[in-house]
Amino acid sequence: MTVLVLVAPGSEEIETVAIVDTLVRARIEVLLASCCPAGLRQIRASRGVQLVADYHIDELTSRDFEAIVVPGGLPGSEAIRDTPLAIDLLREQATLGRWRAAICAAPVVVLQHHDLLGDASVTCHPGFQAQLPTRQLSTARVVTDETHRLVTSQGPGTAIEFTLALVRVLCGDEAALAVAGPMVMPPAVMS
């Protein structure tokens, strides 16, 4: 099982690292792909942390991912939004009925911008919630929409919960609990 995580200059580092780390703890293969316009794998995240992707998005040879995850952060979400191959991959993922996940600004800046939310129930960073239709907006920390195969979340403080929700839909409740326990996650997150 392989999950693709997209990053760009200005992606939120807590979200990115928490996503990758939590998925790896679940024994999921993670490919971190840079959407850097300059074609670079190394990016400077939103708070200045340097991250090195496994690939530049143009170097990907496979398009077969169990899930594609988009961390938030600005201007990272905007760079991903403006990367045609990233959007093509997300569209293909939706068409194939495979999982997509976005956190913080990404549900609005990336997915909504490209009409990739459909009528799914979603959440995002509180600073972007006014941009979502009221009928779709949830103020929950993490929202899993099984019908649309979409997991969304609010921000850095929800990144581990968000990724555990993704582990849950990809690998089952037992796998999510096996990852959450040693991380000493609060009981409410593990239920």
Would you please indicate which residues are annotated as catalytic (active-site) residues? Answer: 104
Token duo for residue 86: 């990233």
Residue with structure tokens 């920390």? Answer: 141
Count the alpha carbons within 13 Å of 91 in the hemisphere toward its beta carbon: 10
Count the alpha carbons within 13 Å of 78 in the hemisphere toward its beta carbon: 6
- From the list 148, 160, 155, the residue with the least C-alpha distance to 120 is 148
Rounded to an integer, what distance in angstroms lies between the CA atom of residue 43 and that of residue 56?
11
Can the peptide bond before residue 186 be classed as cis, meaning omega within 30 degrees of 0? Answer: no
Helix ranges (H only) for 69-140 are 76-81, 84-95, 106
Q: CB–CB of 144/169 below 8 Å? A: yes
